[in-house]
Amino acid sequence: GAVVSQHPSWVICKSGTSVKIECRSLDFQATTMFWYRQFPKQSLMLMATSNEGSKATYEQGVEKDKFLINHASLTLSTLTVTSAHPEDSSFYICSARGGGGQPQHFGDGTRLSIL
Amino acid sequence: KQEVTQIPAALSVPEGENLVLNCSFTDSAIYNLQWFRQDPGKGLTSLLLIQSSQREQTSGRLNASLDKSSGRSTLYIAASQPGDSATYLCAVIARNTGKLIFGQGTTLQVKP
């Protein structure tokens, strides 16, 4: 079945640093990729949607300069949390979808902890 | 605005019991509805996808139904096992946005 690989799975870093998370579709071309954030015991909240070669569309309340998204190819999207602070600590999950009404497939998530 | 609600928030049952998880959504204009499983600290695994024109889907011990007119879906798990313990998320793709909107999830514990 379709596989989405997300890396790293866990990162701990100091406040003020920038962190990059990668999301790859391993066996299909992902025309659209999604980035979600999940707080403990809560559901997934969509942060942004990106189509290959286009700028990402951010949900209301999500700072585009804080969460930089790049979707440069049909198999790779990256989320960079710039100048991360403790309140950015969360579980980030990416998802990828091919064309033609295909379902979304999810990565295993990245646990981000900012000290 | 589409909202998805799942009841109950948590459920604990003995092994072997059949159980039903409920999901409701406010806007019937959906492309499809999906049920996912999430283990602690992990991503999502898709269990079943029901297109808006379908009424149910089955996979092994799982059966999901969809009643679009009433805005409801159920996930039926037969003969539950401890390995079924996880959080189950319901999500719909809204026609007006094409985005997947999630419920809060039901955390299931199956006791041996």
pLDDT tens, position by position, B50-63: 999 999 999 999 99
Burial (CB < 10 A; 0-12, 13-18, 19+), residue A65, is exposed
Q: What's the whole-number mean pLDDT along residues B83-102?
A: 92
- Position A2 scores a pLDDT of 66
Q: Hey, which residues 3-62 in chain B have their CB within 8 Å of chain A?
A: 31-32, 34, 36, 41-46, 49
Please tell me which of the candidates B32, B42, B100 has its beta carbon nearest to residue A109. B42
Burial (CB < 10 A; 0-12, 13-18, 19+), residue B44, is buried
- A19 vs A16: CA distance, rounded Å: 10
Q: Hey, which residues 64-93 in chain A have their CB within 8 Å of chain B?
A: 91, 93
CB–CB contact B102 A44 (8 Å): yes
Please tell me which of the candidates B44, B49, B99 has its beta carbon nearest to residue A106. B44
Confidence category of residue B42, pLDDT binned at 50, 70, 90:
confident
Name which of A39, A33, A19 is nearest A99 in CA terms: A33
Low-confidence ranges of chain A (pLDDT < 50): none
Tokens of B21: 């998880």
CB–CB contact B43 A107 (8 Å): yes
- Position A1 scores a pLDDT of 62
| B40 or B12, which is more confident | B12
pLDDT at B67 over 90: yes
- Position A53 scores a pLDDT of 81
pLDDT at B109 over 90: yes
